[in-house]
């Protein structure tokens, strides 16, 4: 949003607030979407004019079978992200059957082998992390091994994981946020029988009625080049870009039939969290949460809003037969309190209006063009067309989700805090790549209690090597509690996850099963997926002892 449209946006929010007889900021701070908020977002979406980029047969996000993949060159290229501008961009480039793919969307069946040679054509080290997959340490790409400039790295692993949409991106510590920001990130779809059954029962086709949505926020200069200039203070908070992109499309729209659509959402932003809702005519539509990071839930959950933190994926089903005809539906991020409570004594800051707080601290000119975290914004407009008859129903059960293997006794405690010197810590430590913070026994069940300090920020905590279950949330902030069910769990806590968002003052109890087939000790990392936090050292190394 440029300065002028942003000013207009704020004016219209003010006008709506006045019309409703209360300051709009109050509604933003203390609740979900109001009708006024929804209408402002829908007005923004009405101007969206760029067709959403979809995975096709080649090019950006071109779909290819992982089994056909031989080589991924990590290189500098150019891409038209903003209409009419050439943006220098980093991409994973593959060639297959005479076609060129940029950041290919990979398909793999459970049990298949992936053998790929990554060639580093950058001027700095890199390595691919297969985010969410239960690989051995060497094939995890955790940054303990990297490929130096001009060198290659051979991956060879069997996909043992449940069907889901996974995420591959760079993981060389010291370079992660910049490489991801400048373009290196894409998707890996793992398929199994349950996945195939869902696609059949809903008559879904990838790229048409099953649509991946990669959410990212970026800044561009006047020439269309990506800007990643970040102060120490911004590193401490995490990078927030002013321009919201979906599949590298700004202001995107799609045309859709009145049927069930599947949206597979990746939050690929460095640090921005979103609160997703579908809006029509000032109200939230209900939709289904079908799956999370680690695949399908046992049963679909009926929801009308959900948070998604950096690194997380959500599998959503939207039945457009429940929408009104002739009026667009808008995928939005709703207003929420980003809870950047790191500045002071926790509680006192947690409920503050951060928009105002920020405005006092930063120069007015810089603020006008900035999209605050938690600001209500449109992400995608869905134009609903009349269409052929469609009589499919969302199945009552989706998968045989394995139950959590819960260890009795005292949990392993993981404390998230700051060191008072501008760094985030895990159990009081900043990252030391040379030593393991602790060792777990291969095959063991462990319960961890992840406790976030009150004077903190939300931290999306991501583990390499395993998926886990969320058992319980304690002392959650009100905006989380109001979406929660039994044991304080959110609908997205009901499946397997590799990234759990832990809010300031909150504690989350999670269950791991450290079983895997690899002989020999395996070293992995556990870190915050706010990429700037990880870069500052919010990461530990741990060992799975064979
Ligand atoms: Cu963090």
Domain boundary among 163, 184, 202: 202
In a domain, 241, yes or no: yes
The pLDDT assigned to 343 comes to 61
Domain boundary among 384, 399, 426: 384
The pLDDT assigned to 22 comes to 34
The pLDDT assigned to 387 comes to 79
Helix (H) or strand (E) holding 191: strand 186-191
CA of 170 to the centre of ligand 1 (A): 18
CA of 533 to the centre of ligand 1 (A): 5
Is 218 found in the same domain as 197?
A: no
In a domain, 305, yes or no: yes
The pLDDT assigned to 371 comes to 79
Is 235 found in the same domain as 186?
A: no
pLDDT score of 32 more than 70: no
The pLDDT assigned to 388 comes to 83
Is 255 found in the same domain as 194?
A: no
pLDDT tens by residue, 340-360: 876 644 333 333 333 333 333
The pLDDT assigned to 64 comes to 97
CA distances from 540 to 97, 114, 382, 527 (A): 42, 28, 42, 6
Helix spans in 217-353 (H) = 232-237, 347-350
Is 216 found in the same domain as 336?
A: yes
CA of 463 to the centre of ligand 1 (A): 13
CATH number, domain at 231? 2.60.40.420
CA of 424 to the centre of ligand 1 (A): 7
Q: Which residues pair with 462 in a beta bridge?
A: 499, 527
CA of 373 to the centre of ligand 1 (A): 14
- Determine the average pLDDT of the residues in 465-491: 98
Is 238 found in the same domain as 159?
A: no
CA of 63 to the centre of ligand 1 (A): 32
Contacts of 363 (CB under 8 A, 6+ apart): none
ipTM confidence: 0.89
Q: How far apart are CA 200 and CA 399, in angstroms?
A: 14
Check: CB of residue 32 under 8 Å from CB of residue 482: yes
pLDDT tens by residue, 49-73: 999 999 999 999 999 999 999 999 9
pLDDT tens by residue, 380-421: 999 999 878 999 999 999 999 999 989 888 999 999 999 999
Is 254 found in the same domain as 187?
A: no
| Per-residue pLDDT band at 9 (split at 50, 70, 90) | very low
CA of 349 to the centre of ligand 1 (A): 17
In a domain, 476, yes or no: yes
CA of 110 to the centre of ligand 1 (A): 32
Is 323 found in the same domain as 175?
A: no
In a domain, 247, yes or no: yes
Bigger pLDDT: 13 or 175? 175
In a domain, 368, yes or no: yes
Is 182 found in the same domain as 163?
A: yes
Is 212 found in the same domain as 197?
A: no
Contacts of 443 (CB under 8 A, 6+ apart): 514, 515
pLDDT score of 322 more than 70: yes
Contacts of 545 (CB under 8 A, 6+ apart): 439, 440, 441, 442, 521
Q: Which residues pair with 211 in a beta bridge?
A: 263
Is 143 found in the same domain as 111?
A: yes
CA of 286 to the centre of ligand 1 (A): 30
Residue 421 carries which DSSP code? Answer: S
- Determine the average pLDDT of the residues in 4-9: 40
pLDDT score of 325 more than 70: yes
Q: What is the mean pLDDT of the chain?
A: 90
In a domain, 8, yes or no: no
In a domain, 488, yes or no: yes
CA of 271 to the centre of ligand 1 (A): 8
pLDDT score of 319 more than 70: yes
Q: What is the dihedral of CA 232, 235, 236, 238, to 10 degrees?
A: 150
Count of the separate structural domains present in the chain: 3
Check: CB of residue 372 under 8 Å from CB of residue 338: yes
CA of 460 to the centre of ligand 1 (A): 6
In a domain, 22, yes or no: no
Bigger pLDDT: 343 or 77? 77
pLDDT tens by residue, 182-191: 999 999 999 9
pLDDT score of 10 more than 80: no
CA of 521 to the centre of ligand 1 (A): 28
The pLDDT assigned to 11 comes to 43
Is 502 found in the same domain as 377?
A: no
Is 173 found in the same domain as 131?
A: yes
CA of 133 to the centre of ligand 1 (A): 21
- Determine the average pLDDT of the residues in 448-474: 98
The pLDDT assigned to 408 comes to 86
| Per-residue pLDDT band at 35 (split at 50, 70, 90) | confident
| Per-residue pLDDT band at 326 (split at 50, 70, 90) | confident
CA of 459 to the centre of ligand 1 (A): 4
The pLDDT assigned to 111 comes to 97
* Owning domain of residue 172: 59-202
CA of 203 to the centre of ligand 1 (A): 39
| Residue in 113, 496, 12 with CA at minimum distance from that of residue 293 | 496
Domain boundary among 367, 384, 401: 384
């Amino acid at each position: 949003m440029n300065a002028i449209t942003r000013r207009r946006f704020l004016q219209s929010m003010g006008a709506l607030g006045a019309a409703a007889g209360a300051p709009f900021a109050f509604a933003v701070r203390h609740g979900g979407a109001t009708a006024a908020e929804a209408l402002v977002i829908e007005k923004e979406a009405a101007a969206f004019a760029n067709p959403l980029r979809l995975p096709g047969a080649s090019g950006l996000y071109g779909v290819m079978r992982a089994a056909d993949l031989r080589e991924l060159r990590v290189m500098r290229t150019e891409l038209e992200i903003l209409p009419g501008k050439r943006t220098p961009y980093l991409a994973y480039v593959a060639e297959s059957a005479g076609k060129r793919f940029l950041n290919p969307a990979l398909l793999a069946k459970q049990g298949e082998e992936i053998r790929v040679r990554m060639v580093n054509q950058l001027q700095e080290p890199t390595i691919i992390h297969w985010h969410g997959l239960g690989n051995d340490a060497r094939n995890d790409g955790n940054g303990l091994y990297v490929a130096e400039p001009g060198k290659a790295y051979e991956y060879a692993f069997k996909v043992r994981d449940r069907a889901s949409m996974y995420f591959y991106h760079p993981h060389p510590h010291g370079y992660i946020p910049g490489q991801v920001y400048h373009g290196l990130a894409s998707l890996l779809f793992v398929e199994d029988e349950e996945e195939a059954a869902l696609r059949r029962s809903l008559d879904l086709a990838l790229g048409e009625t099953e649509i991946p949505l990669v959410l990212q926020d970026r800044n561009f200069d006047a020439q269309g080049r990506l800007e990643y200039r970040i102060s120490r203070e911004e590193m401490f908070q995490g990078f927030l870009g002013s321009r919201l992109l979906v599949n590298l499309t700004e202001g995107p729209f799609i045309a859709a039939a009145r049927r069930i659509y599947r949206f597979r959402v990746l939050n690929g932003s460095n640090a921005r969290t979103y609160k997703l809702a579908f809006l029509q005519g000032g109200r939230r539509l209900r939709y289904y949460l079908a799956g999370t990071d680690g695949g399908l839930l046992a049963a679909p959950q009926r929801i009308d809003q959900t948070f998604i933190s950096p690194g997380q994926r959500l599998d959503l089903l939207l039945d457009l037969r429940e929408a009104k005809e002739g009026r667009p539906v808008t995928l939005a991020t709703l207003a929420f309190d980003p809870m950047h409570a790191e500045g002071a004594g926790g509680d006192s800051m947690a409920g503050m209006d951060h928009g105002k707080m920020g405005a006092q601290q930063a120069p007015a000119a810089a603020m006008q063009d900035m999209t605050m975290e938690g600001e209500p914004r449109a992400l995608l407009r869905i134009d609903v067309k009349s269409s052929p008859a469609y009589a499919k129903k969302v199945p009552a059960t989706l998968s045989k989700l394995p139950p959590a293997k819960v260890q009795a006794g005292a949990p392993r405690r993981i404390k998230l805090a700051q060191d008072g010197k501008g760094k985030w810590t895990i159990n009081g430590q900043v990252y030391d790549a040379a030593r393991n913070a602790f060792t777990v026994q291969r095959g063991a069940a462990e319960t961890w209690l992840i406790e976030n300090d009150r004077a903190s920020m939300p931290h999306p905590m991501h583990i390499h090597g395993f998926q886990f279950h969320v058992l319980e949330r304690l002392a959650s902030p009100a905006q989380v509690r109001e979406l929660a069910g039994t044991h304080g769990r959110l609908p997205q806590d009901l499946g397997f996850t590799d990234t759990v968002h832990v809010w300031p003052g909150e504690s989350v109890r999670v269950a791991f099963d450290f079983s895997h087939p690899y002989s020999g000790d395996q070293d992995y990392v556990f870190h915050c997926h706010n990429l700037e936090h990880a870069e500052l050292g919010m990461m530990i190394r741990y060992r799975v002892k064979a």
